[in-house]
Amino acid sequence: MRIINKAGGLIYQREFQPGLRKLSTNDYLVLAGTFHGVHAITRTITPKLPLAPPSTSPAVSSPGNTAPATSGYSYPNPGVPTSGLEFLETDKFRLTCFQTLTGTKFLLFTDPLTGSVDTIMNKIYELYADYVMKNPFYQLEMPVRCEAFDRHLGAWLRGRT
């Protein structure tokens, strides 16, 4: 599990189960920075659908009459704010990214078959809020070194499995 702050720096990284390859701290920092950038790009390449009457899908209307519709567009999921990458699936693991309103990103690497990642994520966020943010000695945007957070996180995850 990793936490990336809003500037793209890695502030917490911890492994619960061996499985993924071990990398040097430097590599982890580079990956965190890369992910931060990719996350921003994935948001900008969201497809925009031109606002047109639903009957005139481009296949039907391509000869000509799509032009007036170019002024406005909607996203595929209207009502839901556009977000960056949320789930990434590979052959070996599944990455879940949760971005808080303040821009901190929580990255959770799980087995592809693990269920209820959302609950884990929410619990982690809760613990983070309780033990990191409420820690008077914690400096914002700096690496997390809170023993209580480590302890509770470990205990809670052990209790789940």
Q: Which stretch binds another protein (CB under 8 A): 50-58, 115-123, 144-152, 153-161?
A: 50-58
C-alpha span between 50 and 68 (Å, rounded):
10
A 10 A CB-CB count for 29 gives 16
Using the CB atoms, write b or e for 140-157: b if 16+ within 10 Å. Answer: eeeebebeebeebbeeeb
Q: Does 42 bind another protein (CB under 8 A)?
A: yes
Q: Does 23 bind another protein (CB under 8 A)?
A: yes
Q: Does 140 bind another protein (CB under 8 A)?
A: no
Q: Which stretch binds another protein (CB under 8 A): 27-35, 123-131, 132-140, 149-157?
A: 27-35
Q: Please answer whether residues 70 and 113 qualify as being in contact, where contact means their C-beta atoms are separated by less than 8 angstroms.
A: no
Q: Which of 8, 84, 110, 152 binds another protein (CB under 8 A)?
A: 84
Whole-number minimum distance, CB 101 to another protein, in Å? 14
Whole-number minimum distance, CB 64 to another protein, in Å? 6
A 10 A CB-CB count for 116 gives 9
C-alpha span between 93 and 19 (Å, rounded):
9
Q: What one-character DSSP code corresponds to residue 8?
A: S
Q: Which of 7, 15, 17, 75 binds another protein (CB under 8 A)?
A: 75
Per rule CB under 8 A, count of chain residues that contact another protein: 48
Residue 157 vs residues 12, 72, 120, 161: alpha-carbon distances, Å: 16, 47, 8, 7
Binding site for another protein (CB under 8 A): 20-21, 23, 27, 31, 34-35, 37-38, 41-50, 57-59, 62-64, 66-67, 70-71, 73, 75-77, 80-93, 109
